[in-house]
Amino acid sequence: MTDQSSNQMWGGRFAAGPDAIMEAINASIGYDQRMAAQDIAGSRAHAAMLAATGVITDNDAEAIREGLLTVLSEIDSGTFQFSTALEDIHMNVEARLKEIIGEPAGRLHTGRSRNDQVATDFKLWVRDQLDAAEAGLLALIKALLAQAEAGADWVMPGFTHLQVAQPVTWGHHMMAYVEMFGRDLSRVRDARARMNESPLGAAALAGTSFPIDRDMTASALGFDRPAANSLDAVSDRDFALEFLSAASICAVHLSRFAEELVIWSTAQFRFVTLSDRFSTGSSIMPQKKNPDAAELIRAKVGRIFGANTALMMVMKGLPLAYSKDMQEDKEQVFDAADNWMLALAAMEGMVKDMTANRDSLAAAAGSGFSTATDLADWMVRVLKVPFRDAHHVTGTLVAMAESRGCDLPDLSLEDMQGVHAGITADIFTVLGVENSVNSRMSYGGTAPAQVRQQVARWTDIIGA
């Protein structure tokens, strides 16, 4: 085969042949440069430990420390020249460090490998993202609590199958999402506590013969302890999988809420008005106000789910310890983290800015025979009628009201007694939506008093 035909086979981008392809597939600097701050923090801790244990001199450690700070400054200022030929952030930093301080740079890598180095960097980066997720969730929960407190006694329809079921309160509906995002907060905190073990010092896979102090580096980097098994330390990506799992579950909650906001903001519902900051107009229809932020949050779920699935597939067949496949762990996590944080911030902004339309909520709360269950419950409680019989009577009355184009409270007492003679005028005290929600005083119920109790409980939990 001629050189010309060979180049044609490789294609335009890789006309230089297999060397260009290998460099492209092997390099990760295009994305792992995002871990520069974590990489330099890990190297500084490692150098300080090497000096403290007598593996390198104090002078070399000081030169390394100052040189790393210079590198970090260059990266932060945008003057650092990243090289694909140097593969990753670790080699890029080390090469530049050598240009700055010379020979001492070569001693930095004593007692460690890129395997434990990348695991440490990645853990530090994911830990930072978990902290950011915690902050985002707390802010969103506070915004929901404010909505719940303001509308603790505002009636609205509750739905099952997106059909009107029973009246609830606006505050109760907001508190449902507080519970959901509260579980997300718990998962984030659990994941952070579980992952907070340092891989640094595990070296390639077997540890090192140098007298290193892994407790010292773990403490310096804010880890609770060093990871207890060097094989596991370099090959573990559970922390990234847990991060993506927590992100995926939270994304489901964000998407469900976004879906409700899309529905509620329509002209047909008019339950909420979203602020102009989180809506856009139509390019052709001047009357429209589109809930774009909610729709985009709903779409972000696919990217986060995809990242979770992709990393699961990367890890599922890998033998211990490190394999190059694991280079594919970061892009998925980076993208999911970006979209999760953005979705949390956007949802918090929408919740803080949105206005619940109390009159529309109240009008809808009384539609669709929403107090039918209250009628049946009254018959059971007052008349001692078996629930199944009360259910049948109520169904008959609903059919009667529907045929007349009215709601249950609009039926006369005589109409009701025609179906069940025991019904008294007292029935009308439970048929109003206000009476209905006020009666739901069981723990976790929709009664305004219960809603305010839950708001107070959550305010105490998060220290708002």
Q: Side chain identity at 59, as an amino acid letter? A: N
**Cis-peptide, bond into residue 165, ω within 30° of zero:** no
Burial of residue 98 (CB within 10 Å: 0-12, 13-18, 19+) is middle
Of 266, 262, 293, nearest to 277 by C-alpha is 293
Is pLDDT of 286 > 60? no
Q: Binning pLDDT at 50, 70 and 90, where does residue 15 land?
A: low
Long-range pairs for 314-318 at CB < 8 Å and ≥24 separation? 315/237, 315/241, 318/235
* pLDDT tens-place string over residues 107-161: 999 999 999 999 999 999 999 999 999 999 999 999 999 999 999 999 999 998 9
Say if residue 315's pLDDT is above 90.
yes
Residue 69: the pLDDT is 97
Mean pLDDT of 408-436: 88
Question: Using 50, 70 and 90 to split pLDDT, how confident is the model at 7?
Answer: very low
pLDDT exceeds cutoff 60 at 283? no
Which range, 18-22, 193-197, 380-384, 425-429, has the best average confidence (pLDDT)?
193-197
Q: Is the pLDDT of residue 83 over 70?
A: yes
Confidence of residue 62 (pLDDT cuts 50, 70, 90): very high
CA atoms within 13 A on the CB side of 156: 23
Strands 225-226 and 197-198 come out as: parallel
161 in active site:
yes
**pLDDT tens column, 249-258:** 999 999 999 9
Task: Check: CB of residue 428 under 8 Å from CB of residue 374.
Answer: no
pLDDT higher for 237 or 365? 237
Q: Which of 243-247, 283-287, 292-296, 417-421 has the lowest mean pLDDT?
A: 283-287
Contact, 232 vs 198, CB < 8 A?
no
Q: Is 282 a catalytic residue?
A: yes
Chain centroid to Cα 349, Å, comes to 15
Q: Which residue has the higher pLDDT, 28 or 343?
A: 343
d(CA 73, CA 100): 13
Residue-level pLDDT at 31: 82
pLDDT at 5: 41
Which residue in the list 77, 161, 209, 412 is annotated as catalytic? 161
Q: What is the rounded distance in angstroms from the CA atom of residue 169 to the CA atom of residue 152?
A: 6
Q: What are phi and psi of 202, to 5 degrees?
A: -70, -15
Q: Which of 6, 83, 275, 282 is catalytic?
A: 282
What number is the average pLDDT over the span 319-334? 91
**Average pLDDT score over residue span 305-323:** 94
Residues paired with 355 in a beta bridge: 273
* Dihedral angle computed from the Cα positions of residues 17, 23, 24 and 28, in that order, rounded to the nearest 10 degrees: 180
CB environment 128-146: b (16+ within 10 A), e (fewer): ebbebbeebbbbbbbbbbe
